[in-house]
Structure 1
Amino acid sequence: MSHQPFSLPDAHVARALSQFRSQSPLVHCMTNDVVQSFTANVLLALHASPAMVIDADEAAQFSALADALLINVGTLTRERRDAMQAAVTAAVAAATPWTLDPVAVGALSLRSAFCRQLLDASPAAIRGNASEILALALNAQGGRGVDSLHQAEAALTAAQQLALNHRTIVVITGEVDYITDGERTLRVSGGSPLMTRVVGTGCALSAVVAAFASLSGDRLINIACACRIMALAGEQATQQAKGPGSFVAAFLDALWQLKGEVTA
């Protein structure tokens, strides 16, 4: 296991973005009610195709057709849990990569039990804050809803073990993001404090991670590129924004205007 995270080479970001835009992946987002519109707009700004299909029968059908599936438990209900389980089962059968966003795991019981159950279905990626990753990895209580009580570095060892145990890629987001497959660990810095003052940037990142997990090549590198692209858009948007409201528009514009020759 690598204990020394390394930085993402600039060239990988440009290559992944170009590949992403040429492929324009279809992303099935089973996400929370608060962020659906923003998540869809982020994916559209990157030239992906979002779809929000939530009925259990339709979700199972659609996840087998999509390029990627996102499971975000932010506004989980028992009915939605069953639909998500059906979608994941169909995705696994169709070899569709799926990503888990374990929102508030460790703080609430229904979602905690469900997310731990889903780990057996081999997610391509898991994206959460440090408290969520610690709670998921250690079967512990923690966090304060969607807010993290820990810095990303505090969850790194647990994330590496979680990745190894479930043969997945774990993304811990914070002031610095860490992306690990258990053996290799990448660090991605950047972004903007305003990203924490807008509802849905983390959830949207999970959708972008899910989409980039569908690309061919090194999945760890591709997912790290997703994190860097979102951080870079945040940096560029901050230069134009006067506050959270104008930041949202500037952020979407920045994602749209990123070029294939972009560097990190």
Structure 2
Amino acid sequence: MELISGVWESLKAVRDRAPLVHNITNYVVMNNTANALLAVGASPAMVHAREEVADFTAIAQALVVNIGTLSPEWVEGMKLAVATARRVGVPWVLDPVGAGATRYRTTTAGELARQGPAVIRGNASEVLAVAGAAGFTRGVDSTRSSEESLEVARELATSLGTVVAITGRTDYITDGSRVLAVDNGHALMARVTGMGCTASALVAAFLAVEPDAVLAATHALVVLGLAGELAAERSQGPGSLQLHLLDVLYTLDEATVRARARVR
């Protein structure tokens, strides 16, 4: 019950404080993640130019670094933003999209992972790739289950001093010692592009109001999973799911959170 109470308190804090979340993210999901952040109560900004990322990070309350669409210029901007976040104490989230698919992508994810993210949020294959584990990814879709990568995630979290959040049918969040599991969500969410990227953006928003990164990531994933469940009940397919998801994020109330959140 305490965990579920924390979910609502964090969501309420995001709505009350409207934290500015700086997103260096991919072309595919910018609109999706910006709208999700707005719906949940945060203030999104998509700032990528290396000439201004450091200045913008310094005024944000959280940073997302998402490697979905890479280029040397973007990687340089990511590193500048991360350096600023570390210097001024802005919590940041690494989303290692597709890590394991190519050498460049995997190397970039590994370099960023060693720069002190508060949370690394990925699917099972991505987490395994970041950790240097054996295996491969099929594009950006996970070929492993979250359960299969949990022990690796615990080791990775311990070695890097970070929190690792593996999303899948069940989401697992760990700092190496604590492990929380979120069972909210719906299979239809996997038919909407960038749902994992949206998860990372929401984790950043919750990090802006909850200093415990394990709890921040858990609360964010409960909210997104619960929103996906409720949206799926109103949807005929992935197109309408996207619309209903935003509406649920905007209208989600305490009674619904307490009745339907499944976290352990």
**TM-score under structure 1 normalisation?**
0.94
Choose from 221, 236, 240 the match for 1:227.
221
Choose from 1, 4, 8 the match for 1:10.
4
Q: Equivalent residue of 1:18, what SS?
A: helix
Q: Which residue of 2 aligns with 1:69?
A: 63
> Structure 1: which 5+ runs fail to align?
1-6
Q: Measure the CA separation in 1 of the matches of 2:134 and 2:70.
A: 19
- Per chain length, whose mean CA-contact separation is higher, i.e. which structure has more relative contact order (CA < 8 Å, sep 6+)? 1
Whether the 8 Å contact between 2:119 and 2:213 is mirrored in structure 1 is no
Once the two structures are TM-superposed, the CA of residue 221 in structure 1 deviates from its matched residue by 1.3
What is the letter of the counterpart of residue 20 of structure 1?
Answer: V
Residue pairs, 1:120-159, within 5 angstroms: 120-138=114-132, 140-159=134-153
> Which string of whole-angstrom CA distances, capped at 9 and with x for unpartnered residues, describes residues 14-51 of structure 1?
11111221121100010000000000000000010000
Q: Measure the CA separation in 2 of the matches of 1:89 and 1:65.
A: 14
Q: Measure the CA separation in 2 of the matches of 1:120 and 1:9.
A: 29
- Name the Cα RMSD after superposition: 1.4
Once the two structures are TM-superposed, the CA of residue 219 in structure 1 deviates from its matched residue by 2.3
Alignment length (residue pairs): 258
1:244 aligns with 2:238: yes
Q: Equivalent residue of 1:60, what SS?
A: helix
1:45 aligns with 2:64: no
Q: Measure the CA separation in 2 of the matches of 1:47 and 1:204.
A: 14
Q: Measure the CA separation in 1 of the matches of 2:13 and 2:254.
A: 9
1:98 aligns with 2:123: no
Once the two structures are TM-superposed, the CA of residue 139 in structure 1 deviates from its matched residue by 5.1
Q: Which residue of 2 aligns with 1:203?
A: 197
1:172 aligns with 2:166: yes
Q: Which residue of 2 aligns with 1:189?
A: 183
Of all paired residues, the percent bearing the same amino acid is: 45
What is the letter of the counterpart of residue 197 of structure 1?
Answer: R
Q: Equivalent residue of 2:127, what SS?
A: helix
Q: Measure the CA separation in 2 of the matches of 1:234 and 1:72.
A: 21
What is the letter of the counterpart of residue 207 of structure 1?
Answer: A
What is the letter of the counterpart of residue 241 of structure 2?
Answer: F
Whether the 8 Å contact between 1:237 and 1:251 is mirrored in structure 2 is yes
Q: Measure the CA separation in 2 of the matches of 1:199 and 1:182.
A: 30
Q: Measure the CA separation in 1 of the matches of 2:76 and 2:129.
A: 22
4+ residue segments displaced more than 2 Å: 138-141, 216-219
Whether the 8 Å contact between 1:8 and 1:188 is mirrored in structure 2 is no
Q: Equivalent residue of 1:153, what SS?
A: coil
Q: Measure the CA separation in 2 of the matches of 1:71 and 1:235.
A: 27
Q: Equivalent residue of 1:236, what SS?
A: helix
Q: Measure the CA separation in 2 of the matches of 1:96 and 1:256.
A: 25
Q: Measure the CA separation in 2 of the matches of 1:173 and 1:110.
A: 23
Q: Which residue of 1 aligns with 2:253?
A: 259
Q: Measure the CA separation in 1 of the matches of 2:29 and 2:2.
A: 28
Q: Measure the CA separation in 2 of the matches of 1:111 and 1:140.
A: 16
Q: Which residue of 2 aligns with 1:78?
A: 72
Q: Equivalent residue of 1:79, what SS?
A: helix
